[in-house]
């Protein structure tokens, strides 16, 4: 028992239910978390699918769009459509056509034919008498050489031994420029290397056979 006086609040009814501020304490209600967890798991799954699968599914379309943009870029820079560019490239170039103008003709002048009279040497006069002298001291040398001169068609003059100054070699003497060709022809016939112009002889052509002549 308490030492305080009873009041109206001490009057408790006989029933089990309580009234007023004195209420029966009830057990706290449990917070239901499973709906929140289900929503979070579903959101996580949707995020993973969007991050991993959707980019792979849309990769081909992205590349095709990029290639289309690159292919259209040069055409946009030149201001020509694809069909116009194809038609332009198909047309042949005007500069590639072969020239129809005739080429310049090359004329060749005929080579000059040498005159037949230019190759012919001076005419020989074998009617002039040819004297043959032996200055080599070999017996019968003048007669033998005189026979050779006559056999070649020349007119043979005096034949004998040399009575003049000693000779160092064989010589063909001629008198006058018109006899120079005859003297050279006689020198070639007899194998004499020396031809000398002289007016000391009475005949136009003189052959002196010096030492060593055979």
Nearest residue to 162 (alpha-carbon basis) of 134, 190, 140: 134
Dump pLDDT digits (tens) for 90-102.
454 444 455 555 5
Dump pLDDT digits (tens) for 2-35.
566 766 666 666 565 555 555 555 555 555 788 8
Instruction: Identify the residue whose tokens are 């959101």.
Output: 43
pTM above 0.75, yes or no: no
Distance of alpha carbon 206 from alpha carbon 165, whole angstroms: 15
Average of per-residue pLDDT values in the chain: 73
Q: What is the DSSP letter of 108?
A: -
Distance of alpha carbon 16 from alpha carbon 19, whole angstroms: 10
Q: What is the DSSP letter of 135?
A: -
Q: How many CB atoms lie within 10 A of CB 138?
A: 14
pLDDT of residue 210: 93
Tell me what the mean pLDDT of segment 81-88 comes to: 44
Dump pLDDT digits (tens) for 142-158.
999 999 999 999 999 99
pLDDT of residue 161: 93
Dump pLDDT digits (tens) for 109-140.
666 555 544 445 568 889 989 999 999 988 99
Do the bridges between strand 171-174 and strand 129-134 make them parallel or antiparallel, or are there none, so unpaired? unpaired
């Amino acid at each position: 028992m308490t030492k305080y006086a009873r009041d109206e609040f001490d009057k408790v009814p006989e029933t089990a239910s309580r009234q007023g501020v004195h209420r029966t304490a009830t057990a706290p209600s449990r917070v239901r978390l499973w709906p929140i967890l289900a929503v979070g798991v579903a959101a996580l799954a949707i995020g993973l699918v969007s991050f991993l699968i959707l980019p792979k599914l849309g990769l081909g379309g992205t590349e095709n769009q990029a290639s289309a943009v690159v292919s259209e870029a040069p055409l946009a820079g030149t201001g020509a459509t694809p069909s116009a560019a194809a038609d332009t490239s198909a047309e042949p170039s005007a500069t590639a056509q072969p020239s129809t103008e005739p080429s310049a003709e090359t004329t060749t002048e005929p080579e000059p034919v040498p005159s037949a009279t230019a190759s012919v040497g001076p005419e020989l006069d074998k009617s002039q008498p040819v004297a043959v002298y032996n200055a080599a001291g070999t017996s019968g040398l003048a007669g033998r050489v005189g026979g050779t001169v006559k056999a070649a068609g020349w007119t043979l003059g005096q034949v004998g031994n040399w009575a003049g100054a000693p000779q160092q070699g064989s010589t063909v003497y001629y008198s006058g420029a018109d006899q120079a060709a005859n003297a050279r022809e006689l020198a070639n016939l007899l194998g004499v290397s020396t031809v000398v112009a002289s007016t000391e002889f009475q005949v136009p052509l003189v052959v002196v056979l010096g030492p060593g002549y055979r």
